[in-house]
Amino acid sequence: MTEISRIVIIGGGQAALQLAVSLRAKRFAGSVTLIGDEAYLPYMRPPLSKGFLKGHTQAQDLAFRPAAFYVEEDISLALCKRATFVDRVAKSVVLTSGEMIPYDVLVFATGARVRRLQCSGSDLDGVMYLRNLDDACALHEKLRDADKIIVIGGGFIGLEVAAIAAKDGKKVKVLEASDRLMGRAVSRDISEWFLTLHKQHGVDIELGSGIKEIRGQNGRVSTVRLVTGSEWEADAIAVGIGVIPNSDIASDCGLIVNDGIVVNENPQTSDPNIYAIGDCARFPCALNNELTRLESVQNAVDQAKLLADSIVDGRRPYKCVPWFWTEQYDVKFQMAGLSSGHDEKRIVGDLSSSAFSIEYAKAGRLIAVDSINRPADHLRARRKLADELIASSRSQFSSA
């Protein structure tokens, strides 16, 4: 690899921070610059919909590292700045201010932004989203003062918000457009288990619910009207209907983009001097042999570590087991692997209890394990799936 003296990272989240830390840990001696459009030091985002929203975690506790760390490690932070264009010929990043930051290696760690409602009234006061610290602060304040809360979207974020509001004694209704909860991420068994869990805590859930419009009074939300004609009163609305990868700049400079920035297993884009990691990257997943985009801390951290290794020590492919988690009420749900496309399942424990696991297989091979309040099962599953990936890699190498 050509000598690298300047690495620029667009993004200030988990993947960006991990890459900078890992580069210094690997004794990379060149300059490292993080460009972030928020005013805060890089901070943890998963607690925003968990401990922070509950009031158990304070904003100052979210920062990955104190300000002094970046000085000591010689990591330059360009905060409150937004990259607008990448000049691939001049190898520089252009900021809104007009400033140009040169690079030898550029890394997109731009994450994703919330998908917004596209209906009348979606801009009313009281319609809230949750993606960053400012969102979480605003949502925490609105939930505190509201009595009737509608959550639009039955994914992880929406259900975590619903659980927190319900435990706080609020009247909560969840509206989900599809026919089951967390449908993009979990099996039908898990969807139905969480449906029962939320109903047991007093949450009203309506599936197959399309939003027609949001109505308000004096500029504030008052009701949500469904395509069926039914209406529901609301003091606050929390929207969690998915995210969109931040890949616009990558597309504008001519990189290959397809619901994320397309990278190889290194994870290199169509430009050999540019990489993409974390939520914004679509990469060849060794577990399912498909181009995949994952929104998880694990993926952000592991891809960042691998890229640091590749830059300093030479390339190696990304072969890691995806894992995820969510906390709702007193339940910790952990997933290892990707269960989509399974043709066989085995339940470990009692599906009607508060602690069990489900193992998923495809063509006789274990591909994922979902665990409800069984952390030991989750850890075993991650080890087993990792061992199978290693064995598969060795097999492919020996047959090549």
341-366 pLDDT per residue, tens:
899 999 999 999 999 999 999 999 99
Residue 361: both structure tokens together: 């297989």
Confidence at 399, pLDDT banded by 50, 70, 90: very low
- Per-residue exposure over 272-298, b if at least 16 CB sit within 10 Å of its own CB, e if not: eebbbbbbbbbbbbbbbeeebbbbbbb
Q: Residue 152: enclosing H or E segment and its boundaries?
A: strand 148-152
Q: What's at 72, amino acid-wise?
A: E
d(CA 224, CA 230): 8
Residue where the block lists tokens 């809104």: 96
List helix spans (H) across 334-374: none
pLDDT value of residue 325: 96
290-292 and 281-285 beta bridge pairing: antiparallel
φ/ψ (deg, to 5) at 83: -75, 135
Q: Is the pLDDT of residue 396 over 70?
A: no
What is the DSSP secondary structure assignment for residue 17, as one 8-state letter? H
**Are 43 and 62 contacting, i.e. CB atoms less than 8 angstroms apart?**
yes
Nearest Cα to Cα of residue 112 among 240, 211, 304, 254: 240
Mean pLDDT taken over the chain = 94
Q: Is the pLDDT of residue 395 over 60?
A: no
Residue 130: both structure tokens together: 């949750």
d(CA 304, CA 17): 9
d(CA 307, CA 122): 40
Which residues lie below 8 Å from residue 397, measured CB to CB, with a gap of 6+? none
85-102 mean pLDDT: 96
d(CA 4, CA 28): 9
Which residues lie below 8 Å from residue 355, measured CB to CB, with a gap of 6+? 349, 372, 373, 374
Q: Is the pLDDT of residue 400 over 70?
A: no
Q: What's at 362, amino acid-wise?
A: K
Q: What pTM does this model have?
A: 0.93
Q: Is the pLDDT of residue 49 over 90?
A: yes
88-108 mean pLDDT: 96
Share of the chain above pLDDT 70, in %: 97
d(CA 170, CA 144): 9
Which residues lie below 8 Å from residue 154, measured CB to CB, with a gap of 6+? 174, 175, 176, 178, 180, 181, 182, 183, 205, 207
pLDDT value of residue 303: 96
Residue 78: both structure tokens together: 């360009």
**Are 151 and 158 contacting, i.e. CB atoms less than 8 angstroms apart?**
yes
Confidence at 397, pLDDT banded by 50, 70, 90: very low
pLDDT digits (tens, 9 = 90+) for 166-208: 999 999 999 999 999 999 899 999 999 999 999 999 999 999 9
Which residues lie below 8 Å from residue 275, measured CB to CB, with a gap of 6+? 105, 106, 107, 108, 263, 266, 267, 268, 269, 307
d(CA 366, CA 362): 7
Residue 110: both structure tokens together: 């731009």
pLDDT value of residue 389: 80
